[in-house]
Amino acid sequence: MQGVGRPIVVLDFGAQYSKLIARRVREAKVYSLILPYNAPFDELVALQPAGIIFSGGPASVHVAGAPKPDPRVYDLGVPILGICYGAQLLADMLGGKVLPGIKREYGIAHLEHRDTTGFFDQVNERTQVWMSHGDRVEVLPLGFMAIGETENSPYAAIADPENRRYGVQFHPEVVHTPQGPQILSNFVHKICGCDSTWDMGNFVDLAVRDIRRKVGDKKVLCALSGGVDSSVAAALIHKAVGDQLTCVFVNNGLLRKGEPDLVQHVFRDNFHINLDYADAADCFIDALAEVGDPEQKRKIIGNLFVEVFEKEATRLGHMDFLAQGTLYPDVIESVSATGGPSATIKSHHNVGGLPDKMNLELLEPLRELFKDEVRALGRQLGLPEEIVGRHPFPGPGLGVRCIGAITRERLDTLREADAIFIEEIRIAGLYDAIWQALVCLLPVKSVGVQGDERTYEEVCSLRAVTSEDAMTADWFRFPSEVLQRCANRICNEVKHINRVLYDITSKPPGTIEWE
Ligand code: XMP
């Protein structure tokens, strides 16, 4: 860990916000990573943490089987910070008492602190914090004292300064605790003694070392989609193991204009990565002929992708690892997705099904990172802005934007309209202000007039949304002249479209993609 320092390990007890904690620590320029609370104890020890943070979590310490850390964690002698459920764990496991709160405390509260240990340095004596808890600490364990209170929580912040153990009932990691970053920074710098040595360059060095150690002289296969995550994963792994990496790029015929060329140019010509380009466009388009049902389309595209990918992999010879650009938020979402009865809105197509089928070990070097950190990493690795800054693009591609039956001709029409829309957004300087922009070709014909001629052609719908995480979205307010230019150009330049709509549906009730 030379140059980076010992990490802060966040033990994850399943909280919605736990992933934010590690990120806030990294923002304080200290290396931080997340381990599930039940990761083997040796794994935690091997990381030689400078400090440990217990995340929040939805459980109550009183429930049978409530997630708890290995009690040996208290023998490591490193500072510990418990957040919300994590604070209750500290109190409960160290001999205090946690009781169900008299009333649930949820939302904004005001904390008043009295602290001399450095934990609240540069934090206002009265500061806004964000609470979300039912249980609360009633009796402090031996050695602990209260260092902050809110109206409803006399023990909103507790400390055992001698053993460098701290607990906060509130969430310092969320934006509604405006001085939360300062509190976390105090913990990692003043209590744990970490230096500000962390940056993306360090992450590259560390990840490269880690990948080399894992992979040794074995071979890595990577499904490269041209999206941000798989592109950054590929560039990083290539930096680590060079030609031991082979990327497979499947052209499913449902890609954007210029995409196959861009991916080949960047990865083969610039990065000199072994790139296997599988042109399976005909195969996908033939399989989709006459298929109008969105779920059926998704299944066909997903299954065919696995089939084509497996065939390519077999042709390439023995491989040991499958690289994926999985991010930590994906990990959390997929875990909770299997834990609840949430309805399937759409069958998302990712490479997630591949590892089971192919008997390959997974290599996921981006697991700890958030999307914007992945972008920063991509820039650090020298990937062009065109790849690093691009909007998300769904696995089934234009297949779910070509509404109704898919034909080569309709796909070409859609591809042209899409390219104009994106180009105009870039020209207007709005690309980065938009989460995602897309065009759908609708199976609806309308009458128009062009050059004194009657036309009877299809309709397309433009959609651009703002969003934080794609779970909710709002339609983007374009200056009207941008929309006007798009409509003019599409009707004039794209054969078979004579009418352009702008979609002003938010999510919910609409989803971002139409299918
Ligand atoms: P929806 O349409 O569900 O989309 O609001 C949310 C986000 O997910 C993207 N999306 C996909 N991404 N495979 C992916 O990798 C898929 O099958 C898929 N379907 C939708 C969508 O573009 C948006 O960013």
- Domains and their CATH numbers in the chain: 8-191 (3.40.50.880), 200-388 (3.40.50.620), 407-502 (3.30.300.10)
Q: Specify whether 113 is catalytic.
A: no
Segment 450-475 mean pLDDT: 93
Report the chain's mean pLDDT, rounded to a whole number.
92
Nearest to 113 by CA among 137, 146, 79, 162: 146
Q: Alpha helix (H) ranges present in 253-340?
A: 259-264, 281-288, 294-316, 328-339
Q: Catalytic residue among 84, 247, 486, 491, which? A: 84
Per-residue model confidence (pLDDT) at position 104: 74
Per-residue model confidence (pLDDT) at position 292: 95
Q: Is the dihedral of CA 233, 236, 241, 245 positive or negative?
A: positive
Per-residue model confidence (pLDDT) at position 102: 65
Q: Is 438 in the pocket of ligand 1 (CB under 6 A)?
A: no
Of all residues in the chain, the percent with pLDDT exceeding 90 is 82
Across 175-197, b (16+ Cβ under 10 Å) vs e yields: eebebbbbbbbbbbbebbebeee
Q: Is 348 in the pocket of ligand 1 (CB under 6 A)?
A: yes
Per-residue model confidence (pLDDT) at position 424: 98
Across 80-105, b (16+ Cβ under 10 Å) vs e yields: bbbbbbbbbbbbbbbebebeebeeeb
Q: Is the pLDDT at 332 greater than 70, yes or no?
A: no
- Terminal-residue alpha carbon distance, the chain: 46
Contacts of 83 (CB under 8 A, 6+ apart): 15, 21, 53, 54, 55, 56, 167, 168, 171, 172, 173
Per-residue model confidence (pLDDT) at position 25: 96
Q: Contact 153/140 with Cβ under 8 angstroms?
A: no
From the CA of 125, how far away is ligand 1's center (Å)? 45
Per-residue model confidence (pLDDT) at position 2: 46
Could you give the CA distance from residue 222 to residue 82 in angstroms, rounded to a whole number? 38
Looking up tokens 């650009």, which residue turns up? 325
Looking up tokens 């070097």, which residue turns up? 365
Q: What is the DSSP letter of 266?
A: I
Q: Is 467 in the pocket of ligand 1 (CB under 6 A)?
A: no
Task: Tell me how far the alpha carbon of residue 15 is from its chain's centroid.
Answer: 16
Could you give the CA distance from residue 76 to residue 208 in angstroms, rounded to a whole number? 28
Q: Is 501 in the pocket of ligand 1 (CB under 6 A)?
A: no
From the CA of 309, how far away is ligand 1's center (Å)? 21
Q: Catalytic residue among 105, 133, 149, 173, which? A: 173
Of all residues in the chain, the percent with pLDDT exceeding 70 is 93
Could you give the CA distance from residue 391 to residue 371 in angstroms, rounded to a whole number? 11
Contacts of 143 (CB under 8 A, 6+ apart): 94, 160, 162, 163
Contacts of 297 (CB under 8 A, 6+ apart): 288, 291, 396, 399, 400, 406, 515
Segment 13-19 mean pLDDT: 80
Structure tokens at 15: 């909280």
Q: How many CB atoms lie within 10 A of CB 290?
A: 8
For residue 167, the surrounding DSSP H or E stretch is: strand 165-168
From the CA of 348, how far away is ligand 1's center (Å)? 7
Q: What is the atom index within ligand 1 of the atom nearest the CA of 346?
A: 3
Could you give the CA distance from residue 193 to residue 199 in angstroms, rounded to a whole number? 17
3-state SS class at 202? helix
Q: How confident is the model at residue 108 (pLDDT cuts 50, 70, 90)?
A: very high
Q: What is the pLDDT of residues 146-166, one digit of tens each?
A: 999 999 889 999 999 999 999
Looking up tokens 């861009």, which residue turns up? 262
Q: Catalytic residue among 113, 133, 149, 171, which? A: 171
Q: How confident is the model at residue 337 (pLDDT cuts 50, 70, 90)?
A: very low
Contacts of 341 (CB under 8 A, 6+ apart): none
Q: Contact 194/30 with Cβ under 8 angstroms?
A: yes
Q: What is the atom index within ligand 1 of the atom nearest the CA of 395?
A: 13
Looking up tokens 């009657």, which residue turns up? 454
Q: What is the atom index within ligand 1 of the atom nearest the CA of 345?
A: 3
Q: How confident is the model at residue 338 (pLDDT cuts 50, 70, 90)?
A: very low
Per-residue model confidence (pLDDT) at position 1: 44
Could you give the CA distance from residue 56 to residue 15 in angstroms, rounded to a whole number? 5
Q: What is the atom index within ligand 1 of the atom nearest the CA of 511?
A: 5
Q: What is the pLDDT of residues 472-484, one digit of tens each?
A: 899 999 999 999 9
- Residue 9 — left, alpha, or beta (φ > 0 → left; ψ -120 to 50 → alpha)? beta
Range of weakest confidence among 288-292, 357-361, 399-403, 419-423 = 357-361
Q: Contact 135/98 with Cβ under 8 angstroms?
A: yes
Q: Specify whether 173 is catalytic.
A: yes
Q: Is the pLDDT at 64 greater than 60, yes or no?
A: yes
Identify the residue whose C-alpha is closest to ligand 1 atom 9.
394
Backbone angles phi, psi at 159, to 5 degrees: -150, 145
Q: What is the atom index within ligand 1 of the atom nearest the CA of 302?
A: 17
From the CA of 378, how far away is ligand 1's center (Å)? 22
Ligand 1 binding pocket mutation candidate from 254, 354, 507, 513 (most atoms within 8 A of CB): 513
Segment 450-465 mean pLDDT: 96
Identify the residue whose C-alpha is closest to ligand 1 atom 6.
470
Q: Specify whether 84 is catalytic.
A: yes
Q: Is the pLDDT at 404 greater than 70, yes or no?
A: yes
Identify the residue whose C-alpha is closest to ligand 1 atom 21.
394
Identify the residue whose C-alpha is closest to ligand 1 atom 4.
512
Q: What is the pLDDT of residues 238-276, one digit of tens each?
A: 999 999 999 999 999 999 999 999 999 999 999 999 999
Segment 388-416 mean pLDDT: 96
Backbone angles phi, psi at 464, to 5 degrees: -140, 135
Q: What is the pLDDT of residues 165-211, one digit of tens each?
A: 999 999 999 999 999 999 999 999 999 999 999 999 999 999 999 99
